[in-house]
Structure 1
Amino acid sequence: MLLNIENKSEPVHSFALFQLGFRPFFLAASLYSIVAIVLWTLSYSFQWHPGAILQFGNHFLWHGHEMVFGYGVAVAGGFLLTASMNWTGVQTIRFTPLALLFSLWLLARILPWIDSIPLIIPATLDLLFLLALTIAITHPLYKARQWDQVRIFTSKFLTIFISNLIFYLGVFKVIDGGERIGLYGGIYLIIALLLTLGRRVFPFFIEKGVGVELTLKNSKFLDISSLALFLLFALSDIFLPQLWVSGLLAAALVVVHGLRFVNWYTNLIWNKPLLWVLMVGYGWIILGFLFKALSAFGVISPLIALHAFTYGAIGIITMGMMARVILGHTGRSIFNPPKSLNIIFGLLLVGAVVRVLLPIILPEQFVTMVLISQLFWVASFTMFLWNYAAMLIQPRTDGRPG
């Protein structure tokens, strides 16, 4: 559960960015989320369409791809490079190997903006990054013979790789409609990762973090049914033309995850920002399923459901997990986080409400709502970096490596 591994005999470096996997990927993901949303704002709201974006087919596809396979994968990778070491006691990559892995991700983001470089080159680097990341995450699990973990995370990251490959093959006109298949595949796989990790750590964090004796209820039936239903939902939503199938499965997932949410919920979370942010993010996953069910029957736009999953769930949960991991793995107390976290998380939550809920009520103001939500995202992540960037670059406060 992200326990600290100590090696007091190892020298501590003053520049700690490549000491452990979460450091470069959390820093770069947060920075890139700001840059990518600013570029998206210029493209969507102010009709700026440079060649780097148009290489992806259109600005919608570029935006979706970079937020999922750029931002989302970077956060997931940074988290699991840290978690896999803590679950196994086996050191994950660091220093030069970590810098090389990070360089693959970074080049895949930068090279499309160089006009003389065709998209096939950054696309290849992007795919190589996912393969290398999969190996880096699962290697310690393999050495520790944690076969269930190897199976879970190898399958998920290889499927993310396949989704990204299909997306690029769609962009290159090899697979008709590959862009949508790959993009939705990537979104649902990141949601699957959040649900998998959430099942492991959310109740644990809440039980240990509220300051009183508390045992939360878990259900084997909910564990199995949520997994099976989500797999069927994702496959049907991506591949079946009959929208009512995915709509009914989404409705069933609202019930299943609603029951789990009730089992985990306690009013004691609300004075603990590192706890309430996770449960609020989980609530957005449930809202995503609800809106997906409604959109399948023509009640609301499918874009509402899409952004409940992405802006609401992925945005809020990933920021919450980064905030917690950075504190715990730089020698700081997770029980005494920065006082500004309520504001930082609150800005992102308000942005999600503006992007997802207000367009339902005020559809004629859709474009304005999108612009306002973009500003809230940028403000939230800017404040997040103001508080956390130095922690990611500097050594641990307790003098230990990591």
Structure 2
Amino acid sequence: MSIIVQKYGGSSLADTEKIMRVANRIVSTKKEGNQVVAIVSAMGKTTDNLIKLAKEINENPSKREMDQLLATGEQISMSLLAMAIDNLGEKALSLSGPQAGIKTDSTHSKAMITEIVSDRLLDELKNDNIIIVAGFQGVTENHDIATLGRGGSDTSAVSIAAALNADLCEIFTDVDGVYACDPRIVPNIKKLSAVSYDEMLELANLGAKVLHSRSVEVGKSHNVTIHVRSSFNHNIGTVVKKEVSSMEHNGVITGIAHDFNIAKVVVFGVPDKPGVAARIFKELALANIGIQMIVQSAQTENQNDIAFTCSLDDAREAKAILEKISNDVGARDVVITENLAKVSIVGAGMMTHSNIASRMFGTLGKAGINIDMISTSEITISVIVNSDQCEKAVRELAEEFDLID
């Protein structure tokens, strides 16, 4: 008997009618001879509404109390879905993240899963239960609830699939799979039948919203086959796996990601001496601020400017941190630039094609799109552009690299 882990997002559980539809789908999977564990997100806009409520009470609530609050959203979903399955005549049991054995570190709002103790999950499956688990949450060593951050239910699902050695992890969402770029920007963009872990990880890290990057990392580490598909139909979606055959691959470039949640932070007048950059980035690391691109430019013989990109929220925290230590490191000023976006092309094929960068930059140049910063890896080229030119850049690159059906 196969173990199937399924994850349902908030849009799939937005109201009672949709919850009943999901319940029917889970029951059908069970009746096909499978053991089923379903991981659920909060209903619809529940998380956003809870955040709004918190801000009305306290503009700067503690991260611990926010975790206590936000974890309730997924717990509402799990209970209602278990009731719906019970109403269909199948045995169902709902479990919060802590009850399901999900253990995390103590970084509230951005917790990392440290371990999944799967004993209870396995026992309940042996008792012929369909298990519904609240995603996005776990428990710290101090027995506090901690949440995993946006997209954390994906990570919960793939981690549980790994812990149970599941045969498949299905991520149900409101789209038919993974597209070569956002279909809201390019409506006739190609859908990917399959994508490798490495390419999906790059796309997720660079702004593609279909899968959370940490879930792909777990999938890659534990070789979990992930099937991204729609909860509103029975179409085949996109399989994320270790290797993708040439028949499944669309071409040199697999996809284009974009991200509007970008800011550039520049530290001006940094002394050109050993250890200064290490001090700057150590302080940022201690605050769990994710750094993306880094550029150092020489202004004088003895001073450099250091620029880096990060999320908008992290940029404001980074600025405050760097202003506090600017005197210690001898920096002159710290400035944030907003209204930026990142556009990235991803594809394993670029390792064997030397002209990809020139085609990308040439395409953007012809379209009148200025590039602020550039970074590259073996399978990725990313550029920072003005946010009002982001969607145009995506459309032009989709055309250039033949990603349109």
> TM-score, normalization: structure 1?
0.30
From the two aligned structures, give the one with the greater strand fraction: 2
Query: Structure 2-normalised TM-score?
Result: 0.30
